[in-house]
Amino acid sequence: MNKHPTVGLSVLGLAAAALLLAACATTSPETESALAQARAAVQGLEAQPLAAQTAGKALQDARQALAAAEAAAQQHKKPEEVAHLSYLARRDADIGQAIIAEHVANAKMAQAQSDRERVLRESREHEAALARQQAQQAQQSAQQAQLQAQQLQQQLADLQAKQTDRGMMLTLGNVLFDTNGDTLKPGSDELVSRLSQLLQEHPDIKVRIEGHTDSTGSDAYNQGLSERRAQAVAMALENRGVPQQRIQAVGRGKSAPVAGNDTAAGRQQNRRVEIIFSDPQGQFANG
């Protein structure tokens, strides 16, 4: 029989207090903080739309580690064990977040590469379409130029122009002027009109109008007469709308005969006006 019952009760009270303190130790602020961080990390991973699709293994591991940490806390296991399991849950959640971030970055890179390839493809297609358009325009321009050249040749042929080493040339005899005169006869209107129409239809063509005489008379007289006759033809074309800058009028006097001046027939051939036509680029042939 125990003679000191109060001593036994004290021992039991101390043991109960020790057990209570041990239980409280498992729910210390450090343990609760570790669990709270682990829960937040796992919930953050679960909130990611791509978690199950791209980081399923990490998500599963994080959930399992968090469940183990919470179970350890409820079972009043050592704080170190609860903290370690909470750490594992956070680590797995962070791994899942990293996997998702890498997946998103790779997707953005793939999209950027796809956009770049699309832009390059569209650029190449645009350049190809532009090249086709330019080629078609060049072909049309060439065809038009060829047609205009054919029309020009036909019109010059109708005027009885001849090909020479100086280009296409139309020779007009002394029928445009009276003897020793420099005023165009009324009968020359039709010819001048046809010339002006040809030049208006072919705006890149230029003409050089050269007056020539026979050897009768002085050099000064013949030079002046040839210049006035060339200028008279030039003025007639200008009056019909041909720009002055497309016309050159020069007098050659008796310096360029095409026949002998010792006969009347030869002198008549030398009394002439020559109209020399440029090429379609406005250039005159050498000679």
Q: Could you list the pLDDT tens digit for every one of the 287 residues in the chain?
A: 444 444 444 444 444 444 444 444 445 788 899 999 999 999 999 999 999 999 999 999 999 999 999 999 999 899 999 999 999 999 999 999 999 999 999 999 999 999 999 999 999 999 999 999 999 999 999 898 888 888 888 989 888 999 999 899 999 876 788 878 889 888 888 989 999 999 999 999 999 999 999 999 999 999 999 999 999 999 999 999 999 999 999 999 999 999 999 999 999 899 999 999 999 888 998 74
pLDDT of residue 63: 97
Predicted TM-score (pTM) of this structure: 0.57
By the 8 A CB rule, do 272 and 175 touch?
Answer: no
pLDDT of residue 60: 97
Q: Does the domain made of 159-277 have the CATH classification 3.30.1330.60?
A: yes
Q: What are phi and psi of 170, to 5 degrees?
A: -110, 120
By the 8 A CB rule, do 85 and 72 touch?
Answer: yes
pLDDT of residue 273: 94
CA distance 236 to 207: 13
- Cβ-based neighbours of 127, under 8 Å, separated by 6 or more: none
Three-state secondary-structure class, residue 239: helix
pLDDT of residue 9: 40
pLDDT of residue 22: 45
Three-state secondary-structure class, residue 217: coil
CA distance 182 to 12: 152
Residue 277, beta-bridge partner list: 207
CA distance 86 to 40: 11
Return the sign of the alpha-carbon dihedral for residues 186, 188, 189, 190: positive
pLDDT of residue 27: 56
Count Cβ neighbours within 10 Å for each residue of 248-277 and write b for 16 or more, e otherwise. Answer: bbebbbbeebeeeeeeeeebebbbbbbbbb
Residue ranges per structural domain of the chain:
18-147, 159-277
